Structure 1
Amino acid sequence: MSASSPSARPASAPLCLLFDSDGTLVDSEILLAEVMGDVLPEYGLPFTARQYMEAFRGVRFHDIVAAQQRHHGNLTEDSLARLETSMRTRMQARMREELIAIDGMPDALDALACYPKAVVSNGPDSKIRCAMVSAGLAHHFGEHLFSAYTLGVWKPDPGLYLKAAEAMGYPPERCVVIDDAAVGVEAGLAAGMQVIHLNHFPDEETTPEGAIAIYHARELPAVIERLASTVTNAEEA
């Protein structure tokens, strides 16, 4: 975790927004799919970009590799280390050159400037930072970046979002998770948080019961304002 100690909660912000990174804030999923589709076969693990997009979006890298090893044989510790280093190096190079924000997300973040917000990702801290800088979103989050690798808990375990909420100074019921992947939506719901599912593939994916589906980032500010109004009205009742 690289987030600094949170400041006092602004009176005007009844909610804290917890954003996933890959596929939610930044359009990195296809880049990661292509990199993994290139690197894993080099180490004897057949894998394609399509496999990633269809079955492994948002899943921890080590879990993806473990799944492939169960089918194709185990690698040595040295090979695993070299595989991960190669993947991380290539991915960061692709992000620096090609990464952009999810369509509509910069405007949505501008509209939500009054809300405290954080990035909560299954990726390493270095990847989160690279993504935010490369896509021009770093100023929205500052040091409020929470990595599963630092905190030692990965989505779909709700612990990652719960630890981020605690560090931000908000109870779970005052947090809104914004995530595009099934593992993140599951984690947010299990944490007892409001969950907005940014569903990029509505013809293929169903938003779980209890989560709110949106299909474009432009929809996000209105949904957040509605949730915030509900909280404020409940407090004033």
Structure 2
Amino acid sequence: MSGFSFAALFDMDGVLVDNLNYHVQAWRTFAHHHGRTLTLEDYFRHVNGRVAADALPFVLGRDLSRDEIVAFTEEKEATYRQLYGPDLQPTPGLIPFLQTLKTSGTGLAVGTSAPFSNIGFTLDGLRIRSYFDAVVDASMISRGKPDPEIYLQAAERLGVPPSRCVVFEDAYSGIEAGLRAGMKVVALATTHTPGELAGCGAHHIIPNFEAGLERGLHRLDNWL
């Protein structure tokens, strides 16, 4: 038994950090280096929120071996870390939000499609790893978002049933994953505008965690 009555499950990119523009730039730089063109429309439709094993074949226009996926993933992510490293910072209000949840005894987990190297870059770079009781990354699952596997596994690791979990997401595929897991979903309007998110099915839409605190979304027992 975990001892947690509730759990808050966080995507990483676009949620813990507002880094969309850096990922877009890194993906487009990567595509250009390999003689390909990646439009913004293609990025949002085929790349954003998806594991590299699903995104890379589209970007490169061919099937890839497992070894190629590993190598190309690290190539692209090294470019991303170089671009974002000097500007790395938490989404506004994140630290107080995590502190409040932690103090209340809520279980906290990260469920991200990002590779392991980026998780260390973000969680350790922001010095927030200690807030989280579990981290589930792309290497631990067989099906990426929008499949609910990553959030179901995070909930299982915390010992909390899906009905008592809240997912914080920014991408359509992640929002769908949370909903399919039977969880409540809070959408952050970092990657998409509030208007674009209006029909996504999320239970709440906020611009950042400062707004989440103002709206009392850290008090999970009041609205789950």
TM range (shorter): 0.7 to 0.9
Q: State the match for 2:110 in structure 1.
A: 119
Q: State the match for 1:3 in structure 2.
A: none
Structure-1 separation of matches of 2:94 and 2:58: 33
Q: 1:54 to 1:215 in 2, by over 3 A?
A: farther
Matched, 1:108 2:76: no
Structure-2 separation of matches of 1:75 and 1:64: 11
Q: Share of identical aligned residues, percent? A: 27
> What SS does the corresponding residue of 1:224 show, helix, strand or coil?
coil
Matched, 1:83 2:72: yes
1:74 aligned partner, one-letter code: R
Q: For the pair shown, which has the larger CA radius of gyration, 1 or 2?
A: 1
| 1:213-228 mapped onto 2 (5 Å cutoff) | 213-221=205-213, 222-225=216-219, 227-228=220-221
Identify the range of structure 1 (109-118 vs 53-62) with the bigger mean alpha-carbon deviation. 53-62
1:90, CA displacement in angstroms?
2.1
Matched, 1:159 2:149: yes
Q: State the match for 2:37 in structure 1.
A: 46
1:100, CA displacement in angstroms?
1.1
| 1:75-224 mapped onto 2 (5 Å cutoff) | 77=65, 82-113=71-102, 114=104, 115-141=106-132, 144-200=134-190, 201-209=193-201, 211-221=203-213, 222-224=216-218
> What SS does the corresponding residue of 1:17 show, helix, strand or coil?
strand
Structure-1 separation of matches of 2:45 and 2:91: 19
The question of whether the paired residues in 2 share the 8 Å contact of 1:189 and 1:211 is answered with: no
Q: State the match for 2:3 in structure 1.
A: 9
Identify the range of structure 1 (169-178 vs 194-203) with the bigger mean alpha-carbon deviation. 194-203
What CA RMSD, in Å, does the superposition of the two structures yield over aligned residues? 2.5
2:23 aligned partner, one-letter code: L
1:59 aligned partner, one-letter code: R
Q: 1:192 to 1:91 in 2, by over 3 A?
A: same
1:223, CA displacement in angstroms?
1.7
> What SS does the corresponding residue of 1:204 show, helix, strand or coil?
helix
Structure-1 separation of matches of 2:29 and 2:222: 47
1:119, CA displacement in angstroms?
0.6
- In structure 2, stretches of 5+ residues that fail to align are none
> What SS does the corresponding residue of 2:218 show, helix, strand or coil?
helix
Q: 1:103 to 1:45 in 2, by over 3 A?
A: same
- TM-score after normalising by structure 2: 0.84
1:82, CA displacement in angstroms?
4.5
Structure-1 separation of matches of 2:37 and 2:68: 15
Structure-2 separation of matches of 1:126 and 1:76: 21
> What SS does the corresponding residue of 1:112 show, helix, strand or coil?
helix
- In structure 1, stretches of 5+ residues that fail to align are 1-6, 232-237
1:87 aligned partner, one-letter code: K
